[in-house]
Amino acid sequence: MSDEIRLIEVKEDILADNTQIAKQLQENLRKEKTFLLNLMASPGAGKTSLVIQTIRNLKEKLRIGVMEADIDSMVDAEKVAKEGVAAIQIRTGGFCHMDATMVKSGLNAMDTDTLDLVILENVGNLVCPAEFETGAIKNAMILSVPEGDDKPLKYPLMFSVCHVLVINKTDFLELSDFDVEKCRERVLKINPDIRIFEVSCRTGEGIDKWVQWLYEEVKVL
């Protein structure tokens, strides 16, 4: 019996394979001129609320589809479908993230030829989704005021992989010790190129700037 024990880096292999699939998927989306937005956040940060606000502001200008990813339930997909856009629910079966293969399966279930914008509402957490590329054209994340301004210190990878940060629930600022400027400094130290929007999905404040940015990105593609 050999004393040598082989170490197999499973995670590294999985990530490498996923990255390759994601790159191919992104190339295909660019050729089809379909903009895939990967939206990430903690549970309760307001992902579905932002998706609905985005739909209401852009559905007259863009053909929109939504992929809702959750470990279980169809609650969010049902909410989105009521807004009159194509929506599918992806149950991850216990996985805490979406990867490129899952996204590819979801897109195959949609008629992407007829869509300008597909929003992927990723599984709710700030850890796993940041590690797996999805093939998205852009990554966006939400940080809600009740979560606190220290999250960039605790979850730097999430902030580093995103092109956009949406600070949501600004209507709670007066009731919170959340320091917007301190949060901005922490985020920009990690990712100097990130765009930051301050919004309230409840009141609609700041939504116009967010949707204008997204609309322009889709039109560029």
Q: Where do the domains of the chain lie?
A: 10-220
> Would you state the pLDDT for residue 6?
55
How many of the other CB atoms lie within 10 Å of CB of 45?
Answer: 25
Q: Which residues of the chain have pLDDT under 50?
A: 1-2, 7-11
Which 8-state DSSP code applies to residue 172?
A: G
Q: Are the C-beta atoms of residues 141 and 123 closer than 8 Å to each other?
A: no
> Would you state the pLDDT for residue 95?
79
> Would you state the pLDDT for residue 13?
63
Q: Which residue, 68, 28, 85, is CA-closest to 221?
A: 28
Tokens of 220: 């560029």
Beta bridge partners of 173: none
φ and ψ at residue 184, rounded to 5 degrees: -55, -45
Q: Are the C-beta atoms of residues 124 and 155 closer than 8 Å to each other?
A: no
Q: Among 3.40.50.170, 3.40.50.300, 1.10.357.10, 3.30.420.10, name the CATH number for the domain at 10-220.
A: 3.40.50.300
Work out the percent of the chain whose per-residue pLDDT is above 70: 93
Q: Are the C-beta atoms of residues 159 and 191 closer than 8 Å to each other?
A: yes
Tokens of 15: 């990530």
Average model confidence (pLDDT) across the chain: 92
Work out the percent of the chain whose per-residue pLDDT is above 90: 80
Run of H or E including 196: strand 195-198
